[in-house]
Amino acid sequence: MELTQVIKRPLITEKGADLKEKHSVYIFAVDVNANKIEIKKAVEKLFNVTVERVNTVIVAGKQRRLGLRKGLKPDWKKAYVTLKKGTKIQQLEV
């Protein structure tokens, strides 16, 4: 799997901003089939940082309605990436 296929996008939220400031944890939406080792390698190569730990969560898709029809959004995976102390991802700083 290519690096750009593993990491889909960074998740910019209030919770993510707090984690980034206090604990150097960045949150990414990743491919559902990617494992922790692939996520770690992708973040290290794309952003040139040292990853200490990766935690993943599979988020269940929400139910949506359009008129009388019901459907489900797809499930997706979120990765919490902890960096080595004192390192930052410069591209994601706002």
94 within a domain of the structure (yes/no): no
Token pair for 52 = 């200490």
Range of the domain at 47: 3-87
Query: For the chain, what is the mean pLDDT?
Result: 93
Phi, psi (deg, nearest 5) at residue 87: -105, 150
At 56 the pLDDT is: 98
35-74 burial code (b ≥16 CB/10 A, e <16): eeebbbebbeeebebebeebebeeeeeeeeeeeeeeeeee
Rounded CA separation 5/49 (Å): 19
Q: For the chain, what is the domain count?
A: 1
Instruction: Specify the CATH number for the domain of residue 76.
Output: 3.30.70.330
Per-residue model confidence as pLDDT tens digits over 25-47 = 999 999 999 999 999 999 999 99
Q: With residue 13 as reference, give the H or E element that holds it.
A: none
Q: What is the pLDDT of residue 24?
A: 93
* Residue 76 within a domain: yes
Bridge-partner residues for 51, per DSSP? 83
Q: Does the structure show a pLDDT above 80 at 94? A: no
